[in-house]
Structure 1
Amino acid sequence: MVQFDNQYRQVKLKIVYYGPALGGKTTCLQYIHRVTDPQRRTRLYTLNTASDRTLFFDLLGLDLGRIRGYRLTVQLFTVPGQVQYNTTRRAVLAGADGVVFVADSQVGQEKANLESLQNLQENLKANGLDPETIPLVFQYNKRDLPKILSRAELDRLLNPKGYPVFETVATTGQGVLEAFAAICEATVLSVADRLGITAQADALTRLVANVRAAMAPLIPTKPPEVEAPVVIRTTSEGQLGPEELMAEAVRANAAMADLSARLDQLSKQLSRRVEELQALLVFSQVLTQAREPDEVTTAFFERFLVDMKVTAGTLILENPKGELVEVLRRGLAAEPLMRPGAQGELPARAILEGRQAFRLDLGDLAPGQNREPWIDEVRGLGFEHFLAVPLVAQDRAWGLVTAYGEASRGPFQDEDLELAAIMGAVGAVAIANARAWHALEQVNRNLENLVAARTGELQQALAKAEALAKELSVKNQELEATYRRLAELDQLKGELLRRVAHELNTPVTAIQTAARILTRWDQIPKEKVSNFVGIVAEEASRLGDLIASALQAAALGLPQEVGEKTAVPVADLLRQALAPVKGEVAERQIKVAVKVASGLDKVMCFPEALTAALTALLKNAVEFSRPQGSVTVTVLPVRKAGQNFVEFRVEDNGVGIAPEDLPQVTEPFFQGGNLLTGKPKGLGLGLTVAKRVAELHGGSLEIVSQPEQGTTVSLRVAVG
């Protein structure tokens, strides 16, 4: 008969070890007690009578899980084996939920085993128990002795219906715990069936798993030490008959054992209270160290999860608009209680308005109970246990905190619920105080900001005036620099006009003279006519070079930025730059080689300016090369001083530049002389323009030259 203890919310399962005298029942219970309670938190009781010192009952508290919120525990009993104590046997067997029959395997014990088994059936019926349905497990004990019956012989004699059988040696513990685990599982299933749990397949599966998980670690690596039992001696044997004496002794010892169990439970509860107080002390210390609302909420939530022994949960608080908001969340992608129901209501709101801590074990739900969508979602996430605590302080609900436990964590006990409620109350006060303190500080800061704003207006005005003065100074400097640049450009313009006029005089005079002479072409020999035509052509070409040089001067007046840069194919740039020198290249039989690095297809630049600069470099290279010389154009990426550039390198093997002329070659109108080439063509602006264009592109111009060995000019354009 299942015993419900409503005070401690327990279901007590009574298992009785039955069998012939000296069969090993007492030894089995002693062994089980040593293994399951190595810390000796519960006592082992026995009753001594005049002629029998057999241990006949024991109470053992073992947690096998929960049924509908009640914790399953086990009470173990033995019965005396001698015939004269049949009254005691019947009294001990009353209310049994399961039986282990310990048979003596020795040859010659067949009759004793059979009589004891028949006596078991009679006493079960006498107590209103059905021998056909009560869970029963057989132990064939003393399997280590030399002369024993075979298992088949014992089965034919005692177990024709095929109940579970375990061959055991009680003195060493061999097989004892396996038999104990089997009767526990069978008894729990029987009780579950009587309570209607078997209809819930998932709940029954979890219940069996809990029983097996509780029993699995009980098999020890070595036998524990033997504990002397507590002996209760009877003194009233002369006043009562033998049967009455035994019945009274059974009841008295059962009561004492139950009292001992209750004392043990009270001791555990006291220990739990101490742990709760320690947890609350740590919790209070953590909250007192936090000041800002975010710090308080984080400290409260993290400590709540630690003390509830879970890793998943959510802290939900009301915002100033009265809306519930998930402030912190661990181990969840979303809080199930924040999913609106069919009518749009939030389960979290319902729990918060109830203002009571809410606990749920999904395994206790009967079919049809779990209609709420959020419960199905919790089950789908793999959680079995749920706890929600409203945070109420100053007669106001500030929010709630949830905790989700997996099956391995076990259900939330009453003590957990009480601790959670206390932590919720303390946390709510801390959150309310932190928010109030934060609001007060915010008011103070607003006042300080207002005062600072008023007193700082003058400083801002002064700073603005100073900024305007600095800006005016900068503008003046820029204006002065512009004036200087204009003056330089004006000077450059004058010099350009003077040089152009001077340079134009010779070719124009030569062309005019040849033209006047050619007007009398019919009076001049044909060979002289050809010479004069050649003079006109040569001077016209020279005149074109002067005009091109004059156009180069326009690049010297370029501003810092000319429109937008454009991504131009490198091949197009080189083609346009080479076009003006093709005639002279062919005439002087100069070899021109172009090398472009692989992958370098385009370059960001100002196309017209870069083309003019490259043309100037190529003209110089061709002009100062010897007939049948060579010019090499190389385009490649380079990195200088931590910056990336595209480098246009023009190399020739011509006459080179004298060392004393090299520092001046980029100055406007500078023209170095050479005995082999005579005075150079043009106005001396090519390298000046190239340097200006390189700087316009964020780059530089580098010239390396050795007399009689050639010149290398590198024009670099910044990338980006």
Structure 2
Amino acid sequence: MVQINFAGKEIMTKVVYYGPALCGKTTNLQKLHQITDPQGETKLFSINTDKDRTLFFDLLPLNIGKVHGYNIKLQVFTVPGQVHYGSTRRAVLSGADAVVFVADSQHSMMDANIESLRDLGVNLQLNGLDIESLPLVLQYNKRDLAAVSPLGELEKQLNDTGHQSFEAVALNGKGVLETFVAVVKEMMTQIVEKYRLNRGNKKVDITGQLVQALEAFRETSVEDTNPVDMRKLLLTFEQPSERIVPEWGASEEDSANDTLPGAMSNNELIERAVAANMELANIYVQLDESKKQVETKVKQLKSVTRIGEAITSILELEKLLSTVGRLLGEHAGDSICISLVEGRPLDLKPRINYKITKDPIFQLRAEKGKTLAHLLAHQRRPVIVSSASNENWYHLINSKFPCIQGLLSVPLMSHRRLLGLINIMTTDTQRRFDEEDIQFYGATAKFLSTAIENARLYGMVSVLNRNLEVKVEEIRHLNESTRQSVKLKTIELTQANQALTKANAMLQKRNESKKLLFKRVFDLVPAVIVLTHDFLEKGNQDRVEKAVYQYVLVCLNSFLQLQANQSQLSPKLLNIAKTMIQVIRLHKSLLRDQKIRVMTKLEKTLPFQTDPIAMRMVFSLNLLFGMAFSQRKEIRVWGENSKKAIAVCIRNRYEKSKAAAIQTAFDRKYDKLNPTLPSLVFEISKAILTMAGGSFELKSHTIEKSRSSDYLITRFVFSKGASV
């Protein structure tokens, strides 16, 4: 009889395969076992005779999923078909929720089929069951043989009440699954209606669920390599010594007369033995289920341990997600997709995929244009999407991605704040997500949420540390640069100080030279006035010489004025070469009268910051002096331009008779009360040129001793970078 655990949401039912001997009942169970459990994880219990025929029963425990939220477990039994095992059949039928009657389609087995069907009705009545109300499905087996009864004949003889019936060839699996699905559907429909399990639930397609749960195994054929031999577990009962116990496999009727007065009959003994062995088989099934649950828990514990190690040891977010995704995928062979809420603005974005290139849930649009991933995330609780749960979403997924057979979506939460989403997808038709999966993945999601927060904090700290290291390095470079800069500046300042000291010394020396120069010029003033007066009193004055004396007076007067007030100097950027050309043109008439040719070789520009009036006076004075002392009536003028200075040079040839007068200018051994004209010209020129920022140089050399003349070179030098 059906057992319902309302607290544990579990329904235990019993289906019995009934029929004559050798009709294929055990073959049906073996084929069902191969179809529903290709890996051989569930055991098929059989108690066989020495001739490998069913003695007591065959038992196949099955779990076919959920109906209306209840986990459905089936115990599928067969009964021995031999006539002398009537008590066994009656005991196995006890508490049956549905029956499959397997008929042998051979002509010769028609009477045996009819007798077995009649026996079924009697045994059901003895167990308080009604063949008319009990879910019953007929299977006509062995349809592949030659001498079989027509289908119409079988229906007429065996199915006058119109129960569902199926043709079958149990050896190759034909009709086996269809028969089983039909009887389970009829049984579950009756149970749901009887116990009102559909209250508050919409109508469920039980057939669809069964087909989905079982159809995927249709093509699979894996034999159980480790069946349970119930003969090793068979219970026997001690009897009084005078009691004769029948051997297993002997006829129940043959042993009936062996019973002593007051002792149990053989039928009662067999019924008790069958009941005890059925209970033993149930205990074994429960132990096997407990073992599987323990193995599942151990597997989960191992996965949790590996995930825990990863969570506690990995602080880099990308590596953390990748490792946890891989471990979750390896746990049950599922596809894993992890997405996180991130970015600006915040949005749910895929991050890690395992066994799949991208998260398909993000490619599906559901309500109001939102992706299914966003809708699942906003549920903020684990959600199972399958054909039995959230069917609309399941059909949406299956319409575009038919390979996906189920989805478990688990949110990543931290302090009621959504961090992301874990989508666990399966392509295995046997895989069904349940409460255990929710508990396992839910606990993992909590750990992962904490680890994600830690990884993000670690990432922020790492970024801050890297920025701090960069800043420290920048400060170190800045300090080093500052130190080098201070060192260089110290060197520069030291050098500048040394240069200033040197320049100051040079200026002091130059000032001393200026003082001496200006003193000599001042000492010459009375002599110049007397000498000029005497010359002008002479008769027959030379025009050029007269001009020289006049320019001496003019230059001396200018020098005295500038010495009294140097602010009269008006320096500006002057082209020295052009100024010299202008002076030559100014005295062009004198040059023509004296028949003196001036040969020039000046650059276009010789720039210098100086006073133009002072320069014209000095150039004019020396040009006129050259005209007065020139012997060959030829004066050469040229310019010089080096890296350090520019210069204008005047060269003329003078008579050796005048060498003594010129030499006094070189030696500065003239009589200041009676100086020579060259001394006056050179001293005044040097004084004015010094005030104008330049320097004055004289060079003289003898051409040949036999010649009656020497060269005199006057150089006006201006250092680059200097000015007035």
TM-score for the superposition, normalised by structure 1: 0.51
Is 2:270 the partner of 1:270?
Answer: no
- Superposed displacement of residue 18, structure 1: 1.5
1:136 pairs with 2:160: no
1:316 maps to: 340
1:452-471 equivalences in 2 (<5 Å)? 452-457=473-478
Q: What is the identity, as a one-letter code, of the residue corresponding to 2:180?
A: C
Contact 1:98 1:183 survives alignment (8 Å): no
Q: For the structure 1 residues 205 and 225, does the alpha-carbon distance in structure 2 shift closer, same or farther, using more than 3 Å as the test?
A: closer
Written as runs of structure 1 = structure 2, the 5 A alignment for 1:508-519 is: none
- Structure 2: which amino acid aligns with 1:436? L
User: What SS does the corresponding residue of 1:232 show, helix, strand or coil?
Assistant: coil
Give the alignment partner of residue 179 of structure 2, picking from 183, 196, 215.
183
Match of 2:440? 419
Equivalent residue in structure 2 for 1:245, among 262, 265, 269: 269
Specify the alignment match of 1:234 in structure 2.
Answer: 236
Instruction: From 166, 191, 216, give the equivalent of 2:219.
Output: 216
Partner Cα separation in structure 2 for residue 225 and residue 322 of structure 1: 56
Instruction: State how 1:678-697 maps to structure 2 within 5 Å.
Output: none
Query: 2:43 maps to which residue?
Result: 42
1:186 CA displacement: 0.6
Matched, 1:127 2:154: no
CA distance 1:31–1:241, change in 2 (3 Å): farther
Residue of structure 1 equivalent to 2:468: 447
* Cα-to-partner distance string for 1:488-514 (whole Å, 9 max, x where unaligned): xxxxxxxxxxxxxxxxxxxxxxxxxxx
Q: Deviations over 1:247-291 (max 9, x none)?
A: 433332222111111111122223323333343344345556643
Paired with 1:225 and 1:294, the residues of 2 have a C-alpha distance of 45
SS in structure 1 at match of 2:135: coil
Aligned to 1:332: 359
Over 3 Å counting, the alpha-carbon distance change for 1:239 and 1:80 in structure 2 is farther
Q: Letter of the 2:290 partner, please give it.
A: L
Tell me, yes or no, if structure 1 residue 299 matches structure 2 residue 323.
yes
Aligned residues: 446
In the superposition, relative to structure 1, how do residues 255 and 463 fare at CA in structure 2: closer, same or farther (>3 Å)?
A: farther
Q: Deviations over 1:527-571 (max 9, x none)?
A: xxxxxxxxxxxxxxxxxxxxxxxxxxxxxxxxxxxxxxxxxxxxx
Which residue pairs with 1:389 in the alignment? 410
- Write the mapping of 1:343-492 to structure 2, written as runs, cut at 5 A: 347=375, 350-352=378-380, 358-365=382-389, 377-378=396-397, 380-382=399-401, 383-391=404-412, 398-406=419-427, 408=429, 410-457=431-478
Distance 1:418 1:236 in 2: 49
Displacement of 1:174 after TM fit? 2.6
1:377 is displaced (CA, Å) by 4.7
Unaligned runs of 5+ in 1: 466-720
Question: Structure 2 vs 1, CA of residues 462 and 335 (structure 1 numbering), >3 Å: closer, same or farther?
Answer: farther
Greater shift in the superposed pair: 30-39 or 10-19 = 30-39
Distance 1:438 1:200, change over 3 A: same
- Residues in 1 aligned to 2:8 and 2:168: alpha-carbon distance in whole angstroms: 37
Distance, in Å, in 1 between the alignment partners of 2:445 and 2:143 is 58
Secondary structure of residue in 2 paired with 1:209: helix
Distance 1:90 1:432 in 2: 65
For residue 408 of structure 1, give the secondary structure of its aligned residue in structure 2: coil
Correspondence for 2:115: 115
What SS class does the counterpart of residue 424 from structure 2 fall into? strand
Residues 438, 134 of structure 1: alpha-carbon distance in 2 compared, 3 angstrom cutoff: same
SS, match of residue 56 in structure 1: strand
Alpha-carbon distance between aligned partners in 1 of 2:307 and 2:58, rounded to the nearest angstrom = 41
1-structure distance, mates of 2:10, 2:155? 37
d(CA) in 2 for partners of 1:309 and 1:153? 51
Deviations 1:364-398 (A, max 9, x none): 24xxx768xx6775455445523233435689764
Contact 2:410 2:445 in 1 (8 A): yes
Q: 2:219 is aligned with what amino acid?
A: A
Aligned equivalents of 2:147, 2:399: Cα separation in 1 = 58
Q: CA RMSD in A?
A: 4.9
Are residues 378 and 242 of structure 1, via their aligned partners in 2, closer, same or farther at CA, if it must alter by over 3 Å?
same
The CA deviation at 1:75 is 2.0
Q: Which has the larger radius of gyration?
A: 2
Amino acid at match of 2:92: V
Match of residue 101 from structure 2: 101
* SS of corresponding position for 1:363: coil
Deviation, 1:82, is: 5.7
| Shift in Å, 1:3 | 4.1
CA distance change for structure 1 residues 45 and 431 in 2, over 3 Å: closer, same or farther? Answer: same
Q: Distance in 1 between matches of 2:365 and 2:106?
A: 68
Kindly provide the amino acid, as one letter, of the partner of residue 232 in structure 1: L
Distance 1:370 1:38 in 2: 29
After TM superposition, the structure 1 stretch with the greater mean CA deviation from structure 2, 112-121 or 26-35, is: 26-35
- Call closer, same or farther: CA 1:60–1:37 in 2, change over 3 Å: farther
Q: Per the alignment, do residues 86 and 286 of structure 1 end up closer, same or farther by CA in structure 2, a change over 3 Å counting?
A: same
The alpha carbon displacement at 1:16 in A equals: 1.3
For 1:233 and 1:334, the matched residues in 2 are separated by: 55
What's the secondary structure of 2:274's corresponding residue? helix
CA 1:395 to 1:310, structure 2 compared with 1: closer, same or farther past 3 Å?
same
How does the TM-score come out when normalised to structure 2? Answer: 0.50
Provide closer, same or farther for how the CA distance between residues 446 and 229 of structure 1 changes in structure 2, counting only shifts above 3 A: same
Residues of 2 paired with 1:349 and 1:39: CA distance? 38
**Could you tell me the percent identity over the aligned residues?**
26
- In structure 2, the residue matched to 1:16 is 16
Give the counterpart letter for 2:221 in structure 1.
L
Question: Any conservation in 1 of the 2:18–2:102 contact (CA below 8 Å)?
Answer: yes
Q: 1:185 to 1:25 in 2, by over 3 A?
A: closer
Aligned pairs for 1:626-637 within 5 A? none
Letter in 2 for 1:76: V
Q: Residue 55 of structure 1 aligns to a residue in which SS?
A: strand
Q: Distance in 1 between matches of 2:26 and 2:374?
A: 58
Deviation at residue 199 of structure 1 after TM alignment: 7.5
Q: Please say if 1:164 is aligned against 2:161.
A: no
Q: Alpha-carbon deviation of 1:401?
A: 2.0
1:207 aligns with 2:204: no
Q: Distance in 2 between matches of 1:29 and 1:333?
A: 40
Which residue identity is paired with 1:46? I
The one-letter code sitting in structure 1 at the alignment partner of 2:317 is: P
CA contact (8 A) 2:299 2:331 kept: no
SS of corresponding position for 2:219 = helix
Deviation at 1:189, TM superposition (A): 2.3
Give CA deviations for 1:651-689 in whole Å, capped at 9, x if unaligned: xxxxxxxxxxxxxxxxxxxxxxxxxxxxxxxxxxxxxxx
Letter in 2 for 1:248: R
Distance in 1 (alpha carbons) for counterparts of 2:469 and 2:143: 90
**Closer, same or farther: CA 381–2 of 1 in aligned 2, 3 Å:** farther
C-alpha separation in 2, matches of 1:22 and 1:334:
52
Within 2, Cα distance between the matches of 1:41 and 1:203?
23
Alignment partners' CA distance in 2, 1:338 and 1:229: 55
Q: Does the 8 Å CA contact 2:88/2:271 hold for their aligned counterparts?
A: yes
What SS does structure 2 have at the residue aligned with 1:131?
Answer: coil
Matched position secondary structure for 1:15: strand
